[in-house]
Amino acid sequence: MPALANLYFRTAILFLIVGIGIGIHMSISGNHNVIGAHAHINLLGWVTSAIFGGYLALNPAKAAGLLPRLQYGVYVLGVLAMGVSLYLMLDGNAGIEPVVAISSLVTFAGVLLFALIIFMPAKN
């Protein structure tokens, strides 16, 4: 398996641990205000990262080069920043909304880069 695919799987499991932790916290506290952050961390962090890793594992030639490493960095930075800022915003810190917006765009840029990886021909 390419190192980048493995890195995506490792990153995905860390997002899952955080997402489950937030879910447990919401359950214990009875406060579900941050459910949107919980969902984003689980779907974009855990699920999508695992799918990206699976694609790269099945297409190892697509995991080589600068673009896939750049895409990983952009995407993970975006999801991480969005998850934290969205959590804080939903927890009552309205002033952080611009960070949520910017980090959402960074995450989207990471998705667009992955689309580019998918549609580009594999290097032999």
What pLDDT is attached to residue 124? 66
23-41: per-residue pLDDT in tens?
Answer: 999 999 999 999 999 999 9
What pLDDT is attached to residue 26? 96
Q: How far is CA 91 from the centre of its chain?
A: 20
Which tokens in the block code for residue 58? Answer: 């099945």
Q: pLDDT over 90 for what percent of the chain?
A: 98
47-79: per-residue pLDDT in tens?
Answer: 999 999 999 999 999 999 999 999 999 999 999
